[in-house]
Amino acid sequence: MTKRDYDAVVVGSGPNGLAAAITMQQAGLSVLLIEAKDTIGGGLRTAELTLPGFKHDVCSAIHPLAVSSPFFKNLPLKKYGLEFIYSPNAAAHPFDDSAAAVLQNSLLATATGLGADASAYQKLIQPLLTSWPDILPDVLAPLQWPAHPLKMAGFGIKALRSAESIAKQYFETEEAKALWAGMAAHGMQPLHKPVTAAIALVLLLAAHYKGWPIPKGGSQQIADALAAHFIALGGKIETGTMVTSLQQLPSSHAVLFDVGPRQLLQIAGHSFSSIYKWQLERYKYGMGVYKVDWALAEPIPFTAEACRQAGTVHIGGTYAEVAASEQAAWEGRISDKPFVLLAQQSLFDDTRAPEGKHSAWGYCHVPNASTVDMTNVIEKQVERFAPGFRERIIGRHTMDSKQMETYNPNYFGGDINGGIQNITQLFTRPALRFSPYRTSARGLYICSASTPPGGGVHGMCGYHAAKRALKDVFKLS
């Protein structure tokens, strides 16, 4: 190979960009990581958004896949100060009668809490949990022949179904149906769509496998630990540089982009074949999010005790209500009773707010690129299950879908999953190719959440893209 400034350049420092940079650097290459903002992290940032001393996660907050990910598990991130905290309950789903369905680390405890559906829940989850350590690397991978075909098939048969069909087959109680709906709604699609069972299964299995942790001090701590490890390996990071063309980049043998298809076209579209450009232009994005961060004088007063012991609370009432909310956002309508994903990290992490005070984070799904102010309806939903909540608010910060995109261009129209994860874009994101990470231009790769396995803080998109580049360009396995 001819001499270049770097062996590889990575554009974008989200969890996937960091994973790609680390993987390349671990292989003995010289790697430069370039970030547009003054701080690294992408969706892993924490800031004082409301009042001084209140730390809020700007995007992602709870990280089930960070501790389950095959990429993360081999990194010495504790060495760089990363500490995970676990709430007594991973998640809770409250109802109007002051009861709640609860997701616990223990499968048996979770099942027992579902009453008449205890055996049904175990029947659905137990076989997959037994297989989970063996199939997880393939679940978080591009389409390939799995290491354990029969076990993977057992997962796929259920995961490729709709959340609605699973609920109808397995559950009778409203508690189990609603808990299941809340998990499936993370997929940001109507619950009757194929593959919507996948995200619900992954989240439930992650809880029973290694839990749903909260990073002490904020999600920024994950990014900072990854960056520190990358630098310790000899990597270099350059912040405050917005890349808009290939001409801005130093010479290298490979460039990996932790950006979405639209940004990739803007940066390097002239280098791509007409077919590849056509595929990127047709890439589909889904519903957006409207997010509120709160500074609180006291904890959220949920009437269900289980909710006060949960890091994550799924606020949506019945299965039917959750399904209607997601259907509305998908069809471009605003729901007056939206499904709200809420995190209350300060209950378990005292570094998140001044002594005696608390912070919380919540969002609902809305039509892509919506600028409708959802603050009131979100707070009304929380108040429904926690009377007196509004009285405790001493500061708030809001971001609509367009503001989310402005903050992070990868969130096109507020789509935090980097594109719809439906049956047609599950494995072919962002284009139908032998390797989804290769572009049509030699040496250029995409490693964002718009590639398999999609959204989430797991680093596997970056890891697999880097492994592809190592093999293609550097002839390293």
Together in a domain, 195 and 118: yes
Q: What percent of the chain has pLDDT over 70?
A: 100
Residue 138's pLDDT band (boundaries 50, 70, 90)? Answer: very high
Per-residue pLDDT tens digits for 273-317: 999 999 999 999 999 999 999 999 999 999 999 999 999 999 999
301 lies in a domain?
no
Together in a domain, 149 and 194: yes
360 lies in a domain?
no
**pLDDT, position 1:** 62
347 lies in a domain?
no
CATH number, domain containing residue 20: 3.50.50.60
Together in a domain, 125 and 184: yes
Together in a domain, 124 and 270: no
Q: What percent of the chain has pLDDT over 90?
A: 97
Together in a domain, 195 and 225: no
Together in a domain, 125 and 269: no
Residue 74's pLDDT band (boundaries 50, 70, 90)? Answer: confident
458 lies in a domain?
yes
Residue 4's pLDDT band (boundaries 50, 70, 90)? Answer: confident
Per-residue pLDDT tens digits for 174-205: 999 999 999 999 999 999 999 999 999 999 99
Together in a domain, 270 and 222: yes
Chain centroid to CA 27: how far?
A: 27
| pTM of structure | 0.96
**pLDDT, position 294:** 98
Q: Which domain holds residue 142?
A: 113-199
Together in a domain, 191 and 219: no
Per-residue pLDDT tens digits for 41-60: 999 999 999 999 999 999 99
Structural domain tally of the chain? Answer: 2
Together in a domain, 36 and 75: yes
Is the separation of the CB atoms in 392 and 296 below 8 Å?
yes
Of 164, 199, 234, the residue that ends a domain is 199
User: Looking at the predicted structure, is the pLDDT value of residue 62 above 90?
Assistant: yes
Phi, psi of 263 (to 5 degrees): -65, -40
Mean pLDDT of all residues in the chain? 97
Of 145, 171, 199, the residue that ends a domain is 199
Together in a domain, 117 and 181: yes
**What gap in Å lies between CA 327 and CA 203, rounded to an integer?**
21
Per-residue pLDDT tens digits for 351-365: 999 999 999 999 999
420 lies in a domain?
yes
Per-residue pLDDT tens digits for 391-406: 999 999 999 999 999 9
189 lies in a domain?
yes
User: Looking at the predicted structure, is the pLDDT value of residue 420 above 80?
Assistant: yes
Residue 424's pLDDT band (boundaries 50, 70, 90)? Answer: confident
Together in a domain, 41 and 74: yes
Per-residue pLDDT tens digits for 211-252: 999 999 999 999 999 999 999 999 999 999 999 999 999 999
Together in a domain, 170 and 30: no
Of 138, 164, 199, the residue that ends a domain is 199
309 lies in a domain?
no
400 lies in a domain?
no
Phi, psi of 171 (to 5 degrees): -115, 145
User: Looking at the predicted structure, is the pLDDT value of residue 25 above 80?
Assistant: yes
